[in-house]
Amino acid sequence: MTRLAVPKTYKLFIGGAFPRSESGRSYEILGADGAFLANAAKASRKDARDAVLAARKAVAGWAGATAYNRGQVLYRVAELLEGRRAQFIEEVRASEGLSEPDAAAQVDEAIDTWVWYAGWADKYAQVAGNANPVAGPYFNISVPEPTGVVAVIAPQGTSSLLGLVAVVAPAIVTGNAVVVVADERHPLSAISLAEVLATSDVPGGVVNVLTGSAAELAPWLAAHADVNALDLTGASELDWIDLQISAAETLKRVLPPAGGELDVRSLERITAFVETKTVWHTKSMR
Amino acid sequence: MTLDLARTVVGSELSERSLRGFVLGLPGVDAVGLEQRAAGLATRSIKTSSKKRALDTIVSLIDLTTLEGADTPGKVRSLVAKAVLPDPSDPSCPQVAAVCVYGDLAHVAVEALGAHHTASGGSIAVAAVATAFPSGRASMGVKLADTADAVAAGADEIDMVIDRGAFLSGRYGEVFDEIVAVKEACRRPDGTSAHLKVILETGELATYDNVRRASWLAILAGADFIKTSTGKVSPAATLPVTLLMLEVVRDWHRLTGELVGVKPAGGIRSSKDAVRYLVTVAETAGERWLDPHLFRFGASSLLNDVLLQRQKLATGHYSGADYVTID
Amino acid sequence: MTFLDYAPAPESRAILDLKPSYGLFIDGEFVDGHGEGFHTISPASEEAIAEIAAGDEHDVDLAVRAARRAYERVWSRMSGSDRGKYLFRIARLVQERARELAVAESLDNGKPIKESRDVDVPLVAAWFFYYAGWADKLDHAGLGPAPRALGVAGQIIPWNFPLLMLAWKIAPALAAGNTVVLKPAETTPLTALLFAEIVQQAGLPAGVVNIVTGAGETGRMLVNHPDVDKVAFTGSTAVGREIARAIAGTHKKVTLELGGKAANIVFDDAPIDQAIEGIVNGIFFNQGHVCCAGSRLLVQESVHEEVVDRLKARLSTLRLGDPLDKNTDIGAINSAEQLQRIRQLSDIGEAEGAERWSAECAIPDRGFWFAPTIFDNVSTSSRIAREEIFGPVLSVLTFRTPDEAIAKANNTPYGLSAGIWTDKGSRILAVADRLRAGVVWANTFNRFDPASPFGGYKESGYGREGGRHGLAAYLAPPAATPRRTAAGAERSIASRSASGGLENETSRADARTTISETPSADTDTRREGVTATRASRSSSKSASKKGSAK
């Protein structure tokens, strides 16, 4: 009666493709019960570099898509997540050692949070932007725009899927591209999410997922000159002050560790990685 | 000859179509930027020796004007007397450039000027408005007759109005042809010509782009001067409009080497205002334009304000309205 | 003599009633500084204007303590409407003393009086007037109801717009409920000290505004003071970088307005005469001492010659000279040091093969001066096309297509501002969309308004000044309070109900989840520890960190 299962190979997600680490390294992922679950790719600094390159390539197209389009693309991701709900529950349960209902609660919350962010795509600019009544014959408007490439250290050690969603969705909904270092101990759902993204309409390179050692990868991302912003939400266990100091070299926008708790649905997380652009134009009938 | 130049500049035979293409191909004007530049020029502070010089220059650039339905020979003679001797208390005061009257009174001005008239070796010209001034709403024949009459009566300069109706409905060639015809009507039997000032009536053209287009059309058609306004429509002359027209004559000069004058008219009443125009002329077209052949003020009450300011500079105290003469 | 030789029209200095020396303004009073005092000089004549005190570590500490006391005892307890009334008072006092402030600014900074009179000082009053009205409307600042002030703001401003930068810093800080310690630039402290007198005239409670003069070291002490909650800096990218390092790991919020190398893009269908004015205003306003200056002219090849010719003709009408003369267009370079830098970079530009052209103008014998200069045929790799010169020097580059213009405009680590000149509306909007710059001026340049956010992308810094965004930079969201714990919430997931004005969710989505970071106690200890040792760490360690991080 027992059928021999076909296990999944978990790889990195870079530029829409699933490569192994260029270093050839992998590391064991164990379940909460200590049982072997899988070997995950252990990304190197060169994988991080490739991921930043892929993200940079993707920014213009993604940021240039209409907000309505980005909203629909992200909503489509939620649909696909829902379709794989059972798989995610199982992965979260096995990896984090949660009860079935708790794992389900996390996955449901992750899907609903994704939907929540998808809905912001064509609204955040209305909330965070302004028409400015300047004293002169000018049309003047301030609009938020994506910062560009955001490097993210996902929350570590807890709520692996929800944590990932809570940092990735707000960053990409505005048009940023991200390079995210997944939960080091529980990276499997991150790679499964990557599979969802790969089969959705999210363009390759918009989300790049690295598994491996956050401590090893973070300094390279923090120092990378072509990274515009650094989300240290999951970096509280790392030497994040040094990362912040390193990020200062190119004046990256830095979101420090969440400091206790992370509000998974937060407009502030969206606006943390946007730039306000103010455009003036003369106004005259003559 | 002038039309040869126009053909060269337009780059083809002069037709409704080619002229339209030319004026619509001119660079646009950003109104806010233009007005800001004018406002910037207006902040120049002209003091002491520069002010004295400026005031005398203003007087020498004035077309002292009366254009009322109630004008009479007596009024014109009074105007001429003022033009000849603006400040009886100060013989060093320069004379104005011209007197500007309706065509039927041009002969009165000529007679009253006598030896002061340019034709008699003096320095004051007689300018007459023509072409069914101020509206310009008459048949071509009437406009040409109006012009020829004034020239025959001794007018040295003709201030014509363009057909704003034709311009605003896009019949640029018609506007052009009319100016060419009036220019022809300015010709005297001896082969010389009265100078032609072309009034654009910028207040009716409404946009700066139109002012630039009309300025080019007038210059291409042979205008000696481009003039802002009749004084009968508000707004009349403004500093931004004059600045824009000065930019056109500057560009025309760079392009062809030819010199065309500019005349703001109407609404310039104070010395302070007039000084701003001088600054704008000097810093846009160049100092060379501060000459009656290339710049005029069409004004009436401006003269007395300038005289008051001259008296203040001469005596060190402020003067009053009863110390200058009315005309 | 020609008409264009306008007779001198100097603004009278008699309006100024300067003291021979100025102390630090701490806790509502002028006090002696403990550092070595210095003279502020007029860059147009090199004459000393007044002796200025320098704040040392002790003085900075006194000022921060005064600000903290004022924050806790007075300012944070005062109603928003009363804070607003103080700011309105200041706006009016600035208007009343406008000419005096303008003269002092031109004297100390070297900028033409027509700029200090018509731009700087009116904007200063406008800035206080604008933010005064915000003080009792903070609920609408975009952070939800009842946002909190941050506390004590340490503010460091540059020498290019001394009083205006003071207003940009102090007005929103006070409106939001913070108290401030401000350090003016070493070479231009004068108007900040006159502003201290205005603060006294306004009856502002002691300690709400403190002004500590001094050099860069004084600023460093202010940034590193552990009791400063917010750092706001306008100045060079190099110093901004140092500040970003210094505040790493602390609780300090920071706004940085740094350098720029703005592209001013002129298309072939531009309103040509206005574009020329915009180019001139873009780079020669305030001698080019403007972080958002349009220092790179990107002109479409088809109109390149025409634009350069017209530009040269226009530059020939600029008047360089006495900043206090009302007809002066180009004043003095602010300092000998800055003049040296401008000369050096210009020489490099020439050596790198660009064609140098300067307007002919008589350079006064004394003081620091640099004639308006254009470099034509500059290559994108030239240093004068990449580095901020911060002087009256324009680099001209060409492009062929809109895509090329955008690529060249964005090809810089900076991203503060940009200009677009074209008559084509849809192109303006499309180009504006793709420019990576915080302020885009279309068919205009160098316009500022208190209602309009200003600030950069990339290495031009972060945060915005002006408008609602500028206010939010001095506020924190309302203190987080647990909203609701959902039944069945497990150890790592605590659900909270949504609240606040933005959400309108169904009951299911109403369960708003937060994730607890695992060892939060450890994290907190660590952060506090860092805060306390920051001052000693940042100055020595940040430099070495830079090396290791690379």
Residue of C6, C114, C325, C448 for testing the chain B interface, max B β-carbons within 10 Å? C6
Whether B274 and B308 have beta carbons less than 8 Å apart is answered as no
Q: A267: which chain C residues are within 8 Å (Cβ-Cβ)?
A: 502
Q: Is the backbone peptide bond immediately before B27 cis, with ω within 30 degrees of 0? A: no
The pLDDT of residue C521: 39
- From the CA of C155, how many Å to the nearest CA of chain A? 18
Q: What was the pLDDT predicted at C279?
A: 98
For residue A282, give the nearest of B33, B206, B207 by CB distance: B33
Q: From the list B32, B207, B208, which residue is nearest A137 (CB)?
A: B32
Give the closest-approach CA distance of B29 to chain A in angstroms. 9
Of C71, C121, C41, C140, residue with least CA distance to C366: C41
- As a whole number of angstroms, the distance between CA B284 and CA C310 comes to 11
Concatenating the DSSP letter of every residue in B21-62 gives HHHHTSPP--HHHHHHHHHHHTT----HHHHHHHHHHHHHTE
Q: Could you report the per-residue pLDDT of A155-174, keeping only the tens digit for each?
A: 999 899 999 999 999 999 99
Whether the upstream peptide bond of residue C112 has omega within 30° of 0, thus cis, is no
pLDDT tens sequence across B243-254: 999 999 999 999
CA distance B212 to B134: 21
CA distances from C111 to A71, C160, C318, C448 (A): 50, 9, 14, 17
**B-C Cβ pairs (cutoff 8 Å, strict):** 70
The answer to whether the Cβ–Cβ distance between C443 and B48 falls below 8 Å is no
Smallest CA-to-CA distance from C60 within C541, C542, C535, C538 is with: C535
Cα–Cα distance, B204 to B162 (Å, whole number): 11
Cβ-defined contact of B32 to A285 (cutoff 8 Å):
no
Interchain proximity B208–A285, CB inside 8 Å: no
Does the distance separating the beta carbons of A262 and C514 come in below 8 Å? yes
Q: C276 CB contacts (<8 Å, ≥6 apart)?
A: C307, C310, C311, C314
Q: Do B31 and A282 touch (CB under 8 A)?
A: yes
3-state secondary structure of C497: strand
**Mean of all residue pLDDT scores within chain A:** 96
- DSSP assignment string, C342-408: HHHHHHHHHHTTPEEEE---PPPSSS-----EEEES--TTSHHHHS---SSEEEEEEESSHHHHHHH
pLDDT for res C515:
59
Report chain B residues whose CB lies below 8 A from the CB of C443. Answer: 30, 32-33
Whether A268 sits inside 8 A of C477 (CB atoms) is yes
- As a dihedral over the C-alpha atoms of residue C25, residue C29, residue C34, residue C35, rounded to 10 degrees, the angle is 20
Sheet holding C29-31, edge to edge: C29-31, C24-26, C209-211, C179-183, C152-156, C230-234, C253-257, C461-462
Q: 3-state class of A183 per DSSP? A: coil
Per-residue confidence (pLDDT) for residue C1, from 0 to 100: 59
* Predicted confidence (pLDDT) per residue in A173-200, tens digit: 999 999 999 999 999 999 999 999 999 9
pLDDT for A21 beyond 70: yes
The beta-strand segments (E) located in C189-252 are 209-211, 230-234
C441 contacts C419 by C-beta, under 8 angstroms: yes
Q: Does C304 touch chain A (CB under 8 A)?
A: no
Low-confidence ranges of chain C (pLDDT < 70): 1, 480-550
Mean pLDDT of B222-229: 98
Name residue A204's amino acid. G
State the ipTM, two decimals: 0.95
User: pLDDT by residue (tens digit) across B173-182?
Assistant: 999 999 999 9
At C163, which amino acid appears?
Answer: L
CB contact under 8 A, A282 and B32: yes
Given a contact as 3+ CB pairs under 8 Å, which chains touch A?
B, C
- The verdict on B1 touching A (C-beta cutoff 8 Å) is no
Question: Which positions in chain A touch B241 (Cβ < 8 Å)?
Answer: none
How crowded is residue A14: how many other Cβ atoms within 10 Å of its Cβ?
A: 27
Q: With 60 as the cut, is the pLDDT of residue B45 above it?
A: yes
Pairs of CB atoms within 8 A across A/B: 18
Question: 3-class SS at B297?
Answer: strand
Q: Name the residue facing C444 among B33, B51, B287 (closest C-beta).
A: B33
How far is A144 from A122, CA to CA, in rounded Å? 12
Distance between CA atoms of residues B14 and B220, nearest Å: 10
Chain B residues with CB-CB distance to A135 below 8 A: none
Query: Nearest C-alpha of chain C: how many angstroms from A85?
Result: 18
Q: How far apart are CA C197 and CA C182, in angstroms?
A: 14
| Yes or no, beta carbons of C9 and B47 under 8 Å apart | yes
- What residues of B are annotated to the active site? 159, 227, 263
| Of B227, B157, B152, B160, nearest in space to B195 by CA | B157
What is residue C538's predicted lDDT score, i.e. its pLDDT?
Answer: 39
Is the CB of C486 inside 8 Å of chain A's CB atoms?
A: no
Q: Give yes or no for B235 touching A (CB within 8 A).
A: no
pLDDT of residue C289: 97
Helix/strand/coil percent split, chain A, to 5? 45, 20, 35
Work out the angle at residue B200's Cα, subtended by the Cα atoms of residues B199 and B201, and round it to the nearest 5 degrees: 95
Residue-level length of chain C: 550
Residues of B in contact with C274 (CB under 8 A): 29-30, 33-34, 37
**Which residue shows structure tokens 């007779």?**
C7
At C516 the pLDDT is: 54
Residue A158 has what pLDDT?
Answer: 85
* C-beta of residue A137 within 8 angstroms of C-beta of residue A284: yes
Query: Quick check: helix, strand or coil at residue A137?
Result: coil
Eight-class DSSP state of C73: I
Burial tier of B80 (Cβ tally within 10 Å: 0-12, 13-18, 19+): buried
Q: Which residues of A touch B207 (CB under 8 A)?
A: 285-286
Digit-coded pLDDT (tens) for A233-282: 999 999 999 999 999 999 999 999 977 778 999 999 999 999 999 999 99
For residue C442, the chain A residue with the least C-alpha distance is: A281
Q: Do residues C129 and C86 lie in contact, with contact meaning Cβ atoms separated by under 8 Å? A: no
Put simply, the answer to whether B48 touches C7 (Cβ < 8 Å) is yes
- Tell how far CA C138 is from the center of its chain: 23
Mutate to test the interface with C, among A231, A276, A282, A286 (most CBs of C within 10 A): A276
Residue A261, pLDDT score: 79
The pLDDT score that the predictor gives to residue C497 is 32
Chain center to CA of B115: 24
The strand ranges marked E within chain B are: 62-65, 98-102, 125-129, 157-161, 195-199, 225-227, 261-263, 297-299
What order of strands is seen across the sheet that includes strand C48-52? C21-22, C48-52, C38-41
pTM: 0.93
Token output for B124: 């004051």
Please report all neighbours of C, defined by 3+ CB atom pairs within 8 A: A, B
